Structure 1
Amino acid sequence: MTRLAVRALLAAVFWPSLFFFWFLGPFVFLLLSTTSSEVCPRLETRAEFLAAANGTIPLLAAQGLVYAVPVLCLVLWQRLLPEPARARHIVTCAKLFAVATAIGALWAYGSSLLCDGYGRPFFSPVWQWTSYLPMVGIAINVPLYVLTFSLGRANSTREEVSAGDAARPDRNIP
């Protein structure tokens, strides 16, 4: 397969995964990863409560793997066309992604621990601080989304057209 074909294949994976996983996925995983309000009133012991919260861990791991698809596409694009300027941005993107994933998982797990149907303090009040993590997550995710989108756009566009050919009017007519 040629490099152009591989780049096109990566673009075909990158854009849908970016849209569905990063923009629509958080709503689905939020609903699936937290302990539902119907389950909370039925939890009466600390062990039951902790077991319900720990039940979210496999889903959080799956969420992290699914969210990694666009970042993996960026890394593969960099392997195909190594550019030092983009390499620094991809490393920054990977670091932001790792931090955002950790904060998101901590928030989802912490919100599962906070859901007690009877208002009893089963766990340390430190878990209540996890309610502030969505604000931190937004502060990290906004630059991550912008950087990932711009890197994806730069990597998925064709660069074979020279500037002289692009300026000629007979080349732009379909």
Structure 2
Amino acid sequence: MLNHGKLATRALLAVVFWPSLFFFWFLGPFVFFLLSTTSSEVCPLLERREQFLASANGTLPMLVLQNLIYAVPIVCLVLWSRLLPEPARARQIVICIKLFAIAAILGALWEYGSSLVCDGYGQPFFSPVWQITSYLPIANIVVNIPLYVLVFSLGRAFSTREDDPTEDTARPDGTVS
């Protein structure tokens, strides 16, 4: 039987987990991509390699903030696993952490590369390899789909009650156990 403190902690984690999963993971990428890349109005004004580098490097704080915010559901899963240790779920959380790290790296490279190349304006200044970053969203989707499914299923499993309803039966003296 779970004690009330653990149940309250699980509920609190669920209150943080579900909104952060839906708002940050499903809506956030669109907002953060717009905020973390060099704007299309700035790109034509950039003329030197140093300007392109400065513009792309200016996106780094937003990329760090973005990944910290995206990590909130993963942190909730880790905390849930501390409350209810189960080896099978622990292995799945490790897989989530690895997929999240890969997705974060791919996303950061994509957004940084987009700012660096700046929709083609920076092509003469940088290696053509940076143009390949335009294909990273495809790789990111391949990583994110299993990550989203796994995180969603783990969140669902952790946020549902697992205590035995037969334990809440009334005792002969009238109290509930």
- TM-score normalised to structure 2 length: 0.89
Maintained 8 Å contact 2:117/2:123: no
1:64 aligns with 2:67: yes
Write the mapping of 1:1-174 to structure 2, written as runs, cut at 5 A: 2-115=5-118, 118=121, 120-162=123-165
**Secondary structure, aligned partner of 1:159:** coil
Q: Distance in 2 between matches of 1:68 and 1:119?
A: 32
The total of aligned residue pairs comes to 165
CA 1:126–1:117: 2 relative to 1, 3 Å: closer
What are the superposed Cα offsets for residues 100-137 of structure 1, whole Å, 9 maximum, x if unpaired?
00000000000111116756511011101111100000
Find the counterpart in structure 2 of residue 169 from structure 1: none
Unaligned runs of 5+ in 1: 166-174
**Is contact 2:116–2:122 with CA below 8 Å preserved after alignment?**
no
- Aligned-pair RMSD on alpha carbons? 1.7
Do the aligned partners of 1:60 and 1:105 also contact (CA within 8 Å) in 2?
A: yes
1:121 partner amino acid = P
Deviation at 1:161, TM superposition (A): 3.5
C-alpha contact (below 8 Å) 2:113/2:131 kept by paired residues: yes
Distance 1:69 1:53, change over 3 A: same
Where does structure 2 lack aligned partners over 5 or more consecutive residues?
169-177
Read off the aligned partner of 2:94 and give its amino acid letter: V
Change (3 A) 1:118 1:73: closer
TM-score, reference length from structure 1: 0.90
Rounded to whole Å, the distance in 2 between the matches of 1:162 and 1:135 is 46
- Structure 2 CA distance for aligned equivalents of residues 36 and 62 of structure 1: 18
Corresponding letter in the other structure for 1:45: R
Shift of 1:19: 0.5
